[in-house]
Structure 1
Amino acid sequence: MSPLPAQYLSPLDNRYFAAVAPIGEHLSEAALNRARVKVEIEWLIQLTDLRMFGTEPLTTQQQQALRQVVSDFDQHAIDELAEIEAVTKHDVKAVEYYVRARLDELGLNAIAELTHFGCTSEDINNTSYAITIRDAVEQVWLPAAIALVDQISAMAVAERAQPMLSLTHGQPATPTTLGKELAVVAHRLRRQLRRIESQEYLGKWAGATGNFAAHLVSSPETDWEAVAEQFTGRLGLVWNPLTTQIESHDWQAELFGAVSHFNRILHNFCSDVWLYIMRGVFKQIPAPGATGSSTMPHKINPIRFENAESNLEMSCAVLDSLAHTLVTSRMQRDLTDSSSQRNIGVGFGHSLLAISNVAKGLDALAVNSERLTEELDGNWEVLAEAIQTVIRAEKVAGRSSIDDPYAVLKELTRGHTVGRDELIAFVDGLDISDAAKQQLRQLTPASYTGRSNELVDRLRSSVASK
Structure 2
Amino acid sequence: MPVVTSTVQPTRVSLADVTPPIALGPLDGRYRSAVAPLVDHLSEAALNRERLHVEVEWLIVLCNGTDTVPGPVVPGAPSLTDTEITYLRAIPATFGATEIAELGAIERETVHDVKAVEYFIKRRIADAPEILGETNLPAVSELVHFACTSEDVNNLSYALMVRGAVTDVWLPAATALADQLADMAREHAEVPMLSRTHGQPATPTTMGKELAVLTHRLRRQLRRVEGAEFLGKLNGATGTFGAHTVAVPGAEWPAVSRGFVEHLGLTWNPLTTQIESHDWQAEVYADVARFNRILHNLATDVWTYISMGFFTQIPVAGATGSSTMPHKVNPIRFENAEANLEISCSLLDTLGATLVTSRLQRDLTDSTTQRNIGPAFGHSLLAIDNVRRGLQALAVNADLMAEDLDENWEVLGEPVQSAMRAASVAGVEGMENPYERLKELTRGNRVDQARMREFVGGLGLPDDVAARLAELTPASYTGIAARLVDEYLD
TM-score, normalized by length of structure 2? Answer: 0.93
> Which deviates further from its counterpart, 400-409 or 368-377?
400-409
1:375-414 map, 5 Å: 375-414=404-443
Letter in 2 for 1:355: I
Matched, 1:74 2:65: no
Matched, 1:338 2:338: no
- 2:255 aligned residue (222, 226, 246): 226
1:19-30 map, 5 Å: 19-30=34-45
Displaced runs of 4 or more, over 4 A: none
- 1:89 aligned partner: 111
2:177 & 2:429 partners in 1: Cα distance?
51
Letter in 2 for 1:190: R
- 2:50 aligned partner: 35
1:226 & 1:238 partners in 2: Cα distance?
13
Structure 2, unpaired ranges of 5+: 1-11, 65-70, 130-136
- 1:3 aligned partner: 14
1:16 & 1:308 partners in 2: Cα distance?
12
1:28-177 map, 5 Å: 28-49=43-64, 50-51=71-72, 52-107=74-129, 108-177=137-206
Report if the CA contact (8 A) 1:400-1:433 is conserved. Answer: no
Report if the CA contact (8 A) 1:391-1:400 is conserved. Answer: no
1:209-224 map, 5 Å: 209-224=238-253
Kindly provide the CA deviation profile for residues 13-56 of structure 1, in whole angstroms up to 9, marking residues without a partner as x. Answer: 01000000001110000000000000000001111101222122
Structure 1, unpaired ranges of 5+: none
Report if the CA contact (8 A) 1:163-1:372 is conserved. Answer: yes
> Which deviates further from its counterpart, 450-459 or 24-33?
450-459
Alpha-carbon distance, 1:330 to partner: 0.2
Letter in 2 for 1:41: V
2:480 & 2:79 partners in 1: Cα distance?
66
Alpha-carbon distance, 1:244 to partner: 0.2
Kindly provide the CA deviation profile for residues 181-211 of structure 1, in whole angstroms up to 9, marking residues without a partner as x. Answer: 0110000000000000000000010001000
Letter in 1 for 2:22: Q
Letter in 1 for 2:280: W
Matched, 1:16 2:31: yes
1:355 & 1:87 partners in 2: Cα distance?
41
2:429 & 2:484 partners in 1: Cα distance?
33
Report if the CA contact (8 A) 1:308-1:357 is conserved. Answer: yes
Alpha-carbon distance, 1:434 to partner: 2.1
Alpha-carbon distance, 1:71 to partner: 1.1
Letter in 2 for 1:440: L
Alpha-carbon distance, 1:400 to partner: 2.6
Report if the CA contact (8 A) 2:192-2:205 is conserved. Answer: yes
Report if the CA contact (8 A) 2:191-2:206 is conserved. Answer: yes
TM-score, normalized by length of structure 1? Answer: 0.98
SS in 2 for 1:173: strand
SS in 2 for 1:56: coil
SS in 1 for 2:345: helix
Say how many residue pairs are matched.
Answer: 461
Letter in 1 for 2:48: N
Kindly provide the CA deviation profile for residues 343-375 of structure 1, in whole angstroms up to 9, marking residues without a partner as x. Answer: 000000000000000000000000101111111
